[in-house]
Amino acid sequence: MTTALGPRILTIEDDQATAEEIRTELAGRGFRVDVVADGHLGLDRASNGAYDAITLDRLLPGLDGLSIVKRLRAAGVETPVLMISALSDVDERVRGLRAGGDDYLTKPFASDEMSARLEVLLRRRKSPELALKLRIDDLEIDLIERSVHRNGIELELKATELRLLEYMMRNAGQILTKTMIFEAVWNYHFDPYTNLIEVHMARLRKKIDLPGLAPLIHTKRGSGYIFGARP
């Protein structure tokens, strides 16, 4: 994989407008995108494994998205798959993920949400092992002892805050949208409607980003949050 050229993405999507939107968004972030509109063709292209990630529409002419991801996994192709579908209810999501999809996004989606999810998938592929001790900059978290230290000072975190911090640290440097955070930390897949995530984040921030130290949690205006020494 040549990072200089950017990751290769296969977009299997029959709706032209959506496909173009994905292409524009990803190209803008330096990704190389191939678009395929047919299910069978998509499966062929995906099977040779030359791609770093796939966005896959659920309803396609020829072969539907669920069958494609099932066949890919059966053939041993482990390319991360972001399923995109107009079918939004929980059962559909569960079915998509069970078939082998890595993440599930409902149409219509905000393009930045889509690219944020894709980047998280790409990164997860690079470092799949689950470390039990994480360290970013001067923040250290021990998941066995459930302790957090910043600059050598022990911090008191509640269980939820710890889960939130762990998720952010594991995906440091990535844009994490509120929806992604709610899904990953609370494991619920509905729109929490209010500024719930914001208040949770504000609380975590107050505990982590102590006065005098460089902030680690950064707000990405309009889209979400980034964790790391630099935004």
Partner 1 sequence: MSSLLRDHWRTSTFRLAVFFGILFALGNVALLGSIYWQISVYLEHHVDSSIMTMSSNFRDGDSAKTLEEVNDALAYDLRKTNIIGLFAADGTVIAGNMKSLPQTLPIDGEVHLHSYPEFMQYRETRPVPPKYAGVARIAARRLSNGELLVVGRDFTELLEIKAIVLRTLVVSGAVILLLGWATGFALSIRPLRRINAIRETSRRIVRGELSLRIPASERHDELDMLAIIVNLMLDEIERLLTEVKGVTDNLAHDLRTPLTRLRLLLQRAQLQAAPDIPLQRMLDQALTETDSLLGRFRALLRISEIENLQRKAGFSKVDPRDVLLQIADLFEPLAEEKAVTLALQYVATDSIQADAELLFEGLSNLVDNAIKFTPTGGKVTIRLSQSDGVPRIDVIDSGCGIDIEERDQVLQRYYRGNSRRENDGHGLGLSIVAAVMQLHGFSLKFQDCDLGTHITVFCGDIASNSGI
User: Which CB, 80 or 96, lies closer to partner 1?
Assistant: 96
Least Cα distance to 55 among 130, 142, 132, 114 occurs for 114
Q: Which is nearer to partner 1, 27 or 199 (CB)?
A: 199
Block residue for tokens 């710890």: 162
- Cβ atoms of residues 114 and 11 within 8 Å: no
For the purposes of burial, counting CB atoms within 10 Å of the CB of 64, is it exposed (0-12), middle (13-18) or buried (19 or more)? middle
CB of 21 to partner 1, least distance (A): 7
Q: State the Cα–Cα distance between residues 56 and 44, nearest whole angstrom.
A: 13
User: What's the full length of the chain, in residues?
Assistant: 231
CB of 46 to partner 1, least distance (A): 26
If you search the block for the tokens 């994989």, which residue do you land on? 1
Closest approach, Cβ 222 to partner 1, in A, equals: 4
171 contact partners, CB below 8 Å, separation of at least 6: 120, 123, 227
Nearer to partner 1 by Cβ, of 50 and 202: the residue is 202
Is the CB of 212 or the CB of 222 nearer to partner 1?
Answer: 222
Minimum CB distance to partner 1, residue 18 (Å): 9
Find the shortest distance in angstroms from Cβ 184 to partner 1: 14
Taking the least distance from each CB to partner 1, the nearer of 47 and 111 is: 111
Applying CB under 8 A, the residues found at the interface with partner 1 are 17, 21, 86, 88-91, 107-112, 159-160, 186, 188-196, 199-200, 202-203, 221-223
